[in-house]
Amino acid sequence: MLSVSSNDGKINIYSQEILISREEISQRVEELGRQISTDYQGSELHLVGVLNGAFIFLADLVRQLNIPCQICFLQASSYKEQKVSSGEVTLMHNLDLSGKHVLVVEDIFDSGLTLRSILEDLQVQKPLSIEICALLSKIIPDKLPVKVKYIGFEIEDRFVVGYGLDFAEKYREVPHITCLD
């Protein structure tokens, strides 16, 4: 069993509050896949997964698409083993997206800092179109204005892990979204 260390002993990760169940995630990913397939019918879509958090979501999402697609990744980091963003985004990739329909697949849209940095970086390559799909969108008052076309779930401002989301590289394998706060 996985556990989280805390001041009052060990906490079983599976005893933490489940915010979104495995079944709810599966159903919503299927719905998103249908919507994206309809929107891009007749086009090839280039999905850009944001590592490391979006890899499970992207894998499940791409299996729900019925359009031609290519998958690539970029790495973005702003948390650096903290529960809040450091405010500095580091991007690493070697993508060529010129003239392509691009869908950035992200695990969570919280402050908007990471997504804004990704969009600014990728738009330099002059893709034919670029949209964002985020599994989660936090309800935060001072969020940067970034247009996210496809959102899996809106959640309160909670610290969540599971289904690819982590805390210090732990808990990505948990099959549901659970709260650590």
Active site residues: 110
Kind plus residue range of the DSSP H or E element containing 51: strand 45-51
Nearest to 118 by CA among 133, 99, 135: 133
**H/E element, 117:** helix 113-123
Q: Could you tell me which of 59, 57, 76, 62 has the C-alpha nearest to residue 122? A: 76
16 and 180 Cβ atoms separated by less than 8 Å: yes
Closest among 179, 121, 180, 109 to 147, alpha carbons compared: 109
